[in-house]
A = this chain, B = another copy of it.
Amino acid sequence: MGDGPTITTIAERAGVSIASVSRVLNGLPTRQETVRKVMAAADELGYVRNAVARSLKSRRTHQIAFAMADVGNPAYLAMLREIQPVLKAAGYRLVLHSTDAVVADEIDVLHSLGERYVDGLIMSPLRVTDTHLQMLATARAPVVIIGSVPDGTRVDNVRADSRTGVRLAVDHLYALGRRRIAMVNGPLDTVPGAARGAAYREALTDLGLPYDENLVQIGDFYREEGRRAVAELLDRAPEIDALMCANDLIALGALDVLRAKGRRVPEDVAVVGMDDTDLAAASWPSLTSVSLGSAERGKAAAELLLERLQGDDGDPKRVTVAPRLAIRASTAGPDYERTQRKEGGA
């Protein structure tokens, strides 16, 4: 993998087949001469510290798991793109779990740490239940949580600050003159749903705007569910002039529905997403979105896990990544975008 020695480079150096190297490294019966050549080549190439050592009964698997709540959401792919190289450089292979945020599946992944097929786990749960906490307390390998956990939970964790993030977005919409700012959120029993809903209410209050339950629609963090929720909201409250969406997928669903209904974005309704995924910049119109630092959070999680694997047994650590607002056409209009492009920005 990567630049380091691989069974391919060992095979070349040893002048034997890949299959032979594989047999030797797996401890299968092989001609003595071949074993000697392969071990010599592996040694010369500095391979001894990982795969050979592993086959010689080190207790490490050199695999790390990343349990993703939604592989179809590019926010998690952004984390993955940072996690993978950090772990790879340290000699770990990454395996992924797709849990669809189903609690039972996440618990099963935590439980599977007992089977020791990975050395550690990075997990991004949307809900942190008592069962999660119980399993974390007895986990048989280091775990890093991307997301918030209750205070006092003894686990390394990397947090977004979606409260400040929602605040940035609502303030931006207010500054553009919008006063009927609606919100489409994910389920309130998820950590991000609860945090973003509360932050929206708080931001309105601080701006002196009324909080109107009629302007809040609960859906789920997927595009299709976003479409459905926005369609319902527009039927009920057609007079809204801005939409704060709890993630980019919901916001893309909002753009679909607004277009189908002939409402102009941003002239009639300004739209803000959250996560600032690749899809935000690529959508039409391009989507203003709150970055919650997915890439930075992935990197930080991988680094925290590596520290644990290198023997750090100190107190649990907490990293919080600050949000940023990426302003694009869905709030500021196409002219803004053209200006930005000229200036080399956005």
- Report A's interface with B, CB cutoff 8 A: 1-2, 6-8, 17-19, 22-23, 25-26, 28, 54, 61, 63, 65, 71-72, 74, 77, 80, 84, 93-98, 102, 104-105, 107-109, 111-112, 114-115, 117, 131, 134-135, 137-138, 140, 223, 252, 256, 259, 278, 282, 284
Residues in B whose Cβ lies below 8 Å from that of A108: 1, 6-7, 93
Closest to A255 in B: B284
Residues in B whose Cβ lies below 8 Å from that of A140: 26
Q: Could you list some 21 contacts between A and B, CB below 8 A?
A: A1-B102, A1-B104, A2-B104, A6-B104, A6-B107, A8-B104, A17-B134, A22-B138, A23-B138, A26-B140, A61-B115, A65-B95, A71-B71, A72-B74, A72-B77, A84-B98, A93-B108, A223-B282, A252-B282, A259-B284, A284-B284
Given the known interface contacts A18-B134, A19-B135, A107-B7, the answer about A95 and B93 at a Cβ–Cβ threshold of 8 Å is no
In Å, the complex CA distance between A138 and B140 comes to 33
Residues in B whose Cβ lies below 8 Å from that of A28: 114
> Which of B8, B84, B284 is in CB contact (< 8 Å) with A107?
B8
Residues in B whose Cβ lies below 8 Å from that of A65: 95
Name the residue among A7, A18, A102, A278 with the largest chain B CB count within 10 angstroms.
A18
> Which of B18, B71, B80, B137 is in CB contact (< 8 Å) with A77?
B71
Q: How many copies does the complex hold?
A: 2
Residues in B whose Cβ lies below 8 Å from that of A6: 104, 107-108
Distance in Å from the Cβ of A140 to the closest Cβ of chain B? Answer: 7
Distance in Å from the Cβ of A90 to the closest Cβ of chain B? Answer: 15
Distance in Å from the Cβ of A263 to the closest Cβ of chain B? Answer: 14
Residues in B whose Cβ lies below 8 Å from that of A105: 1
Given the known interface contacts A104-B2, A105-B1, A115-B61, the answer about A131 and B18 at a Cβ–Cβ threshold of 8 Å is yes
Is there an interface contact between A96 and B97, defined as CB atoms closer than 8 Å?
A: yes
Distance in Å from the Cβ of A181 to the closest Cβ of chain B? Answer: 25
In Å, the complex CA distance between A105 and B278 comes to 25
Residues in B whose Cβ lies below 8 Å from that of A63: 112, 117
Residues in B whose Cβ lies below 8 Å from that of A282: 223, 252, 256
In Å, the complex CA distance between A1 and B111 comes to 11
Residues in B whose Cβ lies below 8 Å from that of A17: 134
Residues in B whose Cβ lies below 8 Å from that of A1: 102, 104-105, 108
